[in-house]
Amino acid sequence: MSNDRNDSAGDDLSKELGALFQVSEAISSAVGRDELLNMILKMALIQTGATCGSILLKDETGRFLTIAAAIGLDEDIVRSVRVRVGEGIAGRVVETGLPVLVGNIDDHPVFSKLARNYHDKSFMSVPLECDESVLSVPVKVLQSVIGVLNVHCKGTGGTFTENDFRLLCILANQAAVAIQNARLLDDLENTYMNAFGSMALLLEAKDPCTQGHTERVTALCQEIGRALGIDRHDLHILRVGARLHDIGKIGINESILNKTGPLDEKEWLIVRQHPVVADRVVAPILFLQEMRPVIRGHHERMDGKGYPDGLPGEKLSLGQKIIIVADAYDAMSSSRSYRSALSDERIQRELHDNTGTQFDAEVVDALLDILNMKSPSAFA
């Protein structure tokens, strides 16, 4: 009998360690807080055998909880829910900082009144059935409760166990650390991006003809990326890379940027270095490493005759191919110091004529489809 208990304890420990390893692996691959929370919640459902769950976090007032991640809940509930701290099961868990394991809510001395006719839809497991088992664990950061991780609807129809409880506690602790780290990283990223945003404004002040260029290229890259089915992670890389692609021009003299005539050889060499300068600016920043190829490669060409590295099409990522087309399109459709904006017909001809040499065919087709939806007569 003793050996059976030891084997059972060993199995439980193995499962808990496995859960910790899996959620750590998931966290390391997540991009952004939302994806991180969804991964943790999915892991919680898998490990406890639940079919529904949610993660609620305090709002900026600290008095209400809103749903940050949910599985198995109606979308209207997810969007509209606001739980007052102290009310319902989740609100009470956040207020007290103590976990709640409810096997049968009808038998619970505090929450039995919520079993039926529970009109407050703010709790994630509404409607609560009398035979539901609910497990709710506080999520803490530095001893301060910031939210709650909830699961309910045991897939087997039974009740949650003490082993489920321990597993959820492990996940809640991981969630707390991950959320705090994500917040710190977001703060750091926001600081850098605000600084780069200021650089972009300074650049556009030097060259009024390019005002709004960065925002337009970024938006167009996102549209093309979605049309081509780029996943969320690569879309994030493309978006940030597009926002930073021209920051290397900050070191170029205004006389060159605003020159009305053709550039001489020396001036052209200076301009061609702006992707390299931009790459050097972001190189020391850890969270921008994946964006560097997009930033550095936005003037490459499919035939390998672009700059600064002369990369041929087979060595270009899809993100690079997208920004090459988006950047060129915005340049053609905008007035510059040396020429007026090109007509829609001329732009379409330039895109077609340079497909396969400068531009990727798939990206050009996606761009033209997008433009045709916006202006059918011009790009039909």
Last residue of a domain, one of 182, 216, 247: 182
The closest of 264, 296, 262, 257 to 278, measured between CA atoms, is 296
Instruction: Note whether 179 and 33 are within 8 A (CB).
Output: yes
Question: Does residue 340 sit within a domain?
Answer: yes
Are 259 and 300 part of one and the same domain? yes
Residue 259 bears catalytic tag: no
Output phi, psi for 144, to 5 deg.
Answer: -110, 125
In a domain, 15, yes or no: yes
Give residue 116's pLDDT.
54
**190 found inside a domain:** no
Name the active-site residue from 42, 249, 315, 321: 249
136 and 243 share a domain? Answer: no
Using CA atoms, how far apart are residues 315 and 317, in angstroms rounded to an integer? 7
**How far is residue 378's CA from residue 380's CA, in Å, rounded to a whole number?**
6
Domain final residue, candidates 138, 167, 182: 182
| Position 332, amino acid | M
Quick check: 206 and 308 in contact, CB under 8 A?
no
- Domain membership of residue 144 (yes or no) is yes
* pLDDT in single tens digits along all 380 residues of the chain: 545 444 454 455 455 555 555 655 555 555 567 777 888 888 888 888 888 888 888 888 888 888 888 898 888 878 888 888 888 888 888 888 888 777 777 777 777 666 554 333 222 232 222 334 555 555 554 567 788 888 887 777 677 777 887 778 777 777 776 676 666 666 667 777 777 777 777 676 666 666 788 889 999 999 999 999 999 889 999 999 999 999 888 878 878 887 888 888 899 999 999 999 999 988 988 788 999 999 999 999 999 999 999 999 999 999 999 999 999 999 999 877 777 889 999 999 999 999 999 999 999 999 999 998 877 766 66
Whole-number pLDDT of residue 125? 30
Residue at 102 is within a domain = yes
Q: Please indicate, yes or no, whether residues 165 and 23 belong to a single structural domain of this protein.
A: yes
Expressed in angstroms, the distance from the first to the final Cα of the chain is: 78
352 and 281, same structural domain? yes
Question: Are 113 and 227 part of one and the same domain?
Answer: no
Residue 225 and residue 132 in one domain:
no
Statement to judge: residues 223 and 113 lie in one domain = no
Main-chain phi, psi angles of 339, to 5 degrees: -165, 165
Is the domain of 253 the same as that of 112?
Answer: no
Q: Do residues 218 and 338 both lie within one domain?
A: yes
CATH of the domain at 283: 1.10.3210.10
265 and 335 assigned to the same domain: yes
Same domain, 139 and 228: no
Residue with tokens 């997009």: 294
Residue 200 lies in a domain: no
CB atoms within 10 A of CB 372: 14
| The pLDDT of residue 22 | 60
pLDDT of residue 130: 31
Q: Please report, for the domain that includes residue 168, its CATH number.
A: 3.30.450.40
* Whole-number pLDDT of residue 119: 35
311 located within any domain = yes
pTM, full prediction:
0.58
Count of domains for the chain: 2
| Domain carrying residue 361 | 207-374
Asked whether residue 191 is domain-assigned, the answer is no
Which residues does residue 134 pair with via DSSP β-bridges, in sequence order?
102, 152
109 and 59 in a single domain? The answer is yes
